[in-house]
Amino acid sequence: MKIIKNVALVAHDNRKKDLVEWVEWNYQTLLEHNLICTGTTGLMIEKVIKQQLKKENSEKGLKSIIKVKSGPLGGDLQLGAMITEGKIDILIFFWDPMQPHPHDVGKGIVENNSGI
């Protein structure tokens, strides 16, 4: 029996391309789990996975993809709350510590709650 995990995928703007590439390589594994993403990232991830499935003419589909708000609009805070409530099992966060972000408070909450 496979265990279904709740996997959060997050990427800051200058790392979204890296996350998309990572998803292209790992989408088969991701299909087995529930995905949680911030707004723009969620749309990108959904599109990439659907394109990969179409390429393979696969009947498979995503279990579920929950899209919270964009990070600066409260998405980071939503993810932080979900982590503390035990609703996220795994967080994959592509970030750039050298790049300032307008929502550093929310980003800090996610980092502090995820052990980054």
**Residues designated as active site:** 76
Tokens at residue 81, please?
Answer: 């709350």
**71: exposed, middle or buried (C-beta count within 10 Å: 0-12, 13-18, 19+)?**
buried
CA 53-38-83 angle, 5° bins: 110
Task: Give the count of beta carbons closer than 10 Å to the beta carbon of residue 18.
Answer: 13
Tokens 């390589």: give the residue.
25
Length of the chain: 116
